[in-house]
A = this chain, B = another copy of it.
Amino acid sequence: MMSPARPAEAAAPAHAFASVFAQLAPHMGALDGFLRGQLDAFEPEIRTMADYCIDTSGKRIRPALVFLSGWRGPGVVEPDLVRVAAVVELVHLATLVHDDIMDGAELRRNRRTATRAYGPAAAVLLGDALLAHAVHLSTTFPTTEICAAVSESTRRVCAGEIVQTLRRGSVEVSRADYERIIDLKTAELFRVSCFLGARLGGFAPACVEAVGRFGRHLGIAYQIYDDLADFFGEEKRIGKTLGTDLASGKLTLPLFELLDRLPPGEAAELRAEILGQRPPQLALRLGQMAEHGIFERVADAVQAEIAAATAALADWSGEPPTPLLLSLCDVLRGQVAALQPAG
């Protein structure tokens, strides 16, 4: 049965939030111009490399969260929001440069990764330079508040990725570990993007905190959705190979749910696949996931986080960012539904 919320394939957006982001075209134009302008701040020897990393084909989810969280009305492109959007995007780009080294990734967004283009050694340093410049940019605000928030979030993102890296190819990972990892590696930068957007938008402190909590729950929901799409997406649509988490030994929620439901012998075999002791059997596992209703269970987890994100904004329905942020929840709900396998 097709889910009633499933959108037409032809209209499938390039990524989950594309429809809401459409109204941010002037903001994104300003952001791109601003990021290009930052290249002059890099030492001439590394400018071309920095330019290569600041490509314009990314999803720009975190900058969009900044703009939506600081929203005062259409047509208003606040320079402070553009600047802090650039900061969070540069932090994100730095982590991507480093992620690609660790994963040995060849391509990202149909271009060679920095590690492929310049070698892993230069890519390590280039990520550092991008991170250092993001921080430097955050010191151009009048107080240390922005820089303090950004640097703390960056440390937390790294901590989450370290834990994920060290647990890869291991079955000694608990659900609590999984939740902690996505809270740090994904939700933290979503949270700080929303927090700083609302802060610079001049909203009341309690509202700023609420928008930050919204961002955190949205980030968790988004990551679980992403982990679900790794098994249930369509390759053309999500733009990457399915089953990479299983193949790379990454224990995500769909696998936790499946392990809990398989008979002991089958579960032991799946564990051996995660440990890299047996080749991954994606088709078999997808069949078992269908049999045990794993899609629905993981989708429920996404919905629970979306509900928590929505609840965070309950007291702030009259503020301009609220309807826009809530529309992100609607879009994500629709995207999850669109993944639902025909049953």
Residues of A at the B interface (CB closer than 8 Å) are 42-43, 45-46, 49, 94-95, 98, 101-102, 118-122, 124-129, 131-133, 135-136, 139-144, 147-148, 151-152, 154-156, 158-163, 165-166, 180, 184
In the complex, are the beta carbons of B163 and A136 less than 8 A apart? no
Question: Chain B contacts of A180 at CB under 8 A?
Answer: 45
In the complex, are the beta carbons of A135 and B122 less than 8 A apart? no
In the complex, are the beta carbons of A148 and B136 less than 8 A apart? yes
Question: Chain B contacts of A124 at CB under 8 A?
Answer: 98, 101-102, 124, 127
Given the contacts A144-B147, A165-B121, A166-B118, A152 and B136 also touching, CB distance less than 8 Å: yes
Chain B residue nearest to A163 (CB atoms) is: B45
Question: Chain B contacts of A131 at CB under 8 A?
Answer: 128, 131-132
Q: Point out the residue from B94, B120, B147 that lies within 8 Å of A139, measured CB to CB.
A: B147
In the complex, are the beta carbons of B45 and A125 less than 8 A apart? no
Question: Chain B contacts of A142 at CB under 8 A?
Answer: 144
Q: Give the distance to chain B from A320, nearest Cβ to Cβ, in Å.
A: 29
Question: Chain B contacts of A141 at CB under 8 A?
Answer: 144
In the complex, are the beta carbons of A121 and B102 less than 8 A apart? yes
Chain B residue nearest to A153 (CB atoms) is: B132
A128 to B156, CA, bound (A): 10
Question: Chain B contacts of A122 at CB under 8 A?
Answer: 162, 165-166
A268 to B284, CA, bound (A): 61
In the complex, are the beta carbons of A132 and B144 less than 8 A apart? no
In the complex, are the beta carbons of B45 and A165 less than 8 A apart? no
In the complex, are the beta carbons of A162 and B132 less than 8 A apart? no
In the complex, are the beta carbons of B161 and A132 less than 8 A apart? no
Q: Give the distance to chain B from A69, nearest Cβ to Cβ, in Å.
A: 21
In the complex, are the beta carbons of B158 and A125 less than 8 A apart? yes
Question: Chain B contacts of A139 at CB under 8 A?
Answer: 144, 147-148, 151
8 nearest A-B residue pairs (beta carbon): A43-B159, A102-B121, A132-B155, A139-B148, A136-B151, A132-B154, A129-B158, A139-B144
Question: Chain B contacts of A102 at CB under 8 A?
Answer: 120-121, 124-125
Chain B residue nearest to A142 (CB atoms) is: B144
Q: Give the distance to chain B from A134, nearest Cβ to Cβ, in Å.
A: 8
A139 to B149, CA, bound (A): 9
* 30 contacts across the A-B interface (CB closer than 8 A): A42-B159, A43-B155, A43-B184, A45-B159, A45-B162, A45-B163, A45-B180, A46-B158, A46-B162, A46-B163, A49-B162, A98-B124, A98-B128, A102-B124, A102-B125, A122-B166, A124-B127, A125-B161, A126-B162, A129-B158, A129-B159, A132-B152, A133-B151, A133-B155, A135-B147, A135-B151, A136-B152, A144-B144, A144-B147, A147-B147
